[in-house]
A and B are shown apart, each in its own frame.
Chain A
């Protein structure tokens, strides 16, 4: 943990992210023998290059659906999603995606798992290995390069998955409750690790969470989703100074002020859901 004397703030890197534009998007899901469900009602949002945006809201209100539309995994029933002007499509090399479950391949070591995205793109093996090892070093797993996922703790596995997502330096990072399966302490640690990396890289981030305090600590902007059908009902800007320290923020007055303000809105939605 950083001592106060060290907190001469390092400078933020320049923003490098993509501009994400979601325009008048709505989403129906058809299931056989049932009425189509309106999962997302007409919604628009813009994520500026290098902006860190969190989605919060009750479960089932369409957060994952919008995220997957941006990832190109779900094609919106209506409306458009563009990244730097280009229509979203799955498997773009400049988009990183991370879920709550790590999805590590059990037959690959931590190093092998982090090398995977580079391998798929034909990066020379030596370079891929060098970058993967460096990335794992950064997240504090330098001693576990050759461990299999089954030999790693929950938090270490998620750090490996985070490395796999970030090692190719995506300009857009999409995360669906990435830390929700971790215990409180590990979650704080990983929030810190990710925040530090992001402050350096400044990609555009879309981060889904059901944990409001996590959203405030991480985000530049918080979008609150309302329940059924899903829709964005509030948009907050979080003007906490960067670089941020996850642990110190827990005692920050401004942080608590944001929490109360947003919570009063969120609580009504949670009760309605």
Chain B
């Protein structure tokens, strides 16, 4: 190859101080949106307070009727009154116990079923239409049936949460397992991996993100089903209370119950996401690229 002689851009006799580059360490640690670190949470706070403020003013001036819409200051008051009372200890515990049990059962069985069926394309094909049918059914329509079968206790909540969460976990796990590229399976063959090794080292780790998506969505759907069931009938539960408060025009208690529901669900989702982040550091690595 010919190497053309480069002509120096500047005569050597006039040395200039080289522009000093920043030390590389600083560049790396500087986040892309570092300047948002404080302004975003501040924005959340301002936006929230603004909405609550408008609501409060509308309620006190009678622009909206607080009998139907509640009033923020009274909602907060209700929340504190209930915080260590029956609402929290009896009803919150009842709802979350039911949902978590149903979700745990759905997760265990959903993951197991997906992994087992992924090994047999034939069985999967046979079962597929039935699964689609069951999954197309609006599960809340089963609530009266489950209440009849399982009574007004925790069992009906477990069954309802399970009926929705199971399919969500199942289908996300299956998608995760099937996402293993054919190239990855070829590599397993070439390296002489046994069937079990192929599954454990080449397929399963790739399915973990899908499984976690299933677990997170499964919990939210399980909560939906259980609360809907409680609103129909039940001895205890946040859904039972929602129905009761609405019927007796106790809107402030109603909204306080909603806040407990949302906070609990968000806490649980946050817990799952934290575990996910721990387990899937390789995905984080891809995202920060």
Contacts and interface: CB of A to CB of B under 8 A. Distances in A.
Q: Say whether A and B bind each other.
A: yes
A97 B187 CA distance: 9
A97 B193 CA distance: 14
A77 interface: no
Contact of A148 (B190, B202, B282): B282
B206 interface: yes
Looking at chain A's contact residues, the main secondary structure is loop
A99 to B, nearest CB: 7
Looking at chain B's contact residues, the main secondary structure is helix
Interface stretch (A6-14, A85-93, A195-203): A85-93
A119 interface: yes
Interface stretch (A28-36, A103-111, A134-142, A257-265): A103-111
Contacts of A251: 1
B285 interface: yes
Nearest to B202: A105
A103 B187 contact: yes
B1 A150 contact: no
Interface string B179-216: 00001101101111100010001100110100000000
B285 A120 contact: no
Contact of B186 (A73, A107, A120): A73
Interface string A108-122: 100000001101110
Contact of A91 (B184, B193, B202, B280): B193
B192 to A, nearest CB: 3
Nearest to A118: B191
Contacts of A93: 192
Nearest to B289: A150
Contacts of B191: 91, 116-117, 120
Nearest to A147: B285
Given A101-B183, A105-B202, A90 B289 contact: no
A120 B193 contact: yes
Given A119-B201, A148-B286, A105 B193 contact: no
Given A105-B202, A105-B205, A91 B189 contact: yes
Interface residues of A, number: 26
A95 to B, nearest CB: 8
Given A105-B184, A120-B197, A73 B189 contact: yes
Contacts of A123: none
Given A101-B183, A151-B289, A92 B205 contact: no
Contact of B189 (A90, A101, A117, A250): A90
A216 interface: no
A116 to B, nearest CB: 7
Contact of B183 (A91, A99, A107): A99
Nearest to A112: B282
Interface string A143-158: 0000110110000000
Interface in A54-79: 71, 73
A107 B189 contact: no
Given A103-B187, A105-B201, A150-B285, 19 more contacts: A71-B190, A73-B186, A73-B190, A90-B189, A91-B190, A91-B193, A93-B192, A99-B183, A105-B205, A106-B286, A107-B208, A107-B280, A108-B282, A120-B192, A120-B193, A120-B197, A120-B201, A147-B285, A250-B1
Interface of B: 1, 183-184, 186-187, 189-193, 197, 201-202, 205-206, 208, 280-283, 285-286, 289
20 contacts: A73-B186, A90-B192, A91-B190, A91-B193, A93-B192, A103-B184, A106-B206, A106-B282, A107-B208, A107-B280, A116-B191, A120-B193, A120-B197, A147-B285, A148-B285, A150-B282, A151-B286, A151-B289, A250-B1, A251-B1
